[in-house]
Amino acid sequence: MAELQRFPVVTTAGETGHVLRRARFIDPSEQSRVILEDGTELTAPASDLEAQNDGSFLLRRSQDPPVQNVPESTHPTSQPPAPAAISAETLFADEVGIDRVAVNQIVDELPTNRQEGDILIIPVVEEILVVQKRYMIKEEIRINRSRRPVSEPRRILVNGQETRS
């Protein structure tokens, strides 16, 4: 079980204090314990807590008065605590399971989150730099060879004697 963490809280009435939760966003608890600076402790429904951009929570207090945390007296004349009321309110518990599924698939476009039934699928994407070797012809050098007859007089030595052709 995760340890409880303290997060700053401000009520709609302007009271300040701390809320104890397992995590800032993903906390499956239906109720959170709130300790105000004046020592007042109360239990707030998770639906009454709104996460703020600065890391704190805004507590929208319901109509019920907060329960004061009063230490029990050890004096023998103290009265036993009053019996607790039983609530017939229907409660719900959400359980969250996280599965990581390897896909390793190359895609052409950046995928978006999608919903399949009760499952929210969030793709984890890695940007890969692809280097390809390609050839581009910048220019061509063309060598044209042609043959033509040439008639020029020449002197040729045949058996040691000079002849004219």
Strand 5-11 relative to strand 57-59, pairing: parallel
pLDDT for position 155? 77
Low-confidence residues in the chain, pLDDT < 70: 1-2, 62-87, 162-165
Out of 2.30.30, 1.10.10, 3.30.450, 1.10.3470, the CATH code matching 5-59 is 2.30.30
pLDDT for position 153? 82
pLDDT for position 124? 93
pLDDT for position 82? 60
- Which residue matches tokens 């008639």? 151
pLDDT for position 97? 87
Name the amino acid, one letter, at 121.
I
Taking residue 42's Cβ as centre, other Cβ atoms within 10 Å add up to: 21
Q: Name the CA dihedral angle for 110, 111, 113, 116, rounded to a multiple of 10 degrees.
A: 180
Helix or strand (DSSP H, E) at 19: strand 16-21
CB 130 within 8 A of CB 63: no
Model pTM? 0.36
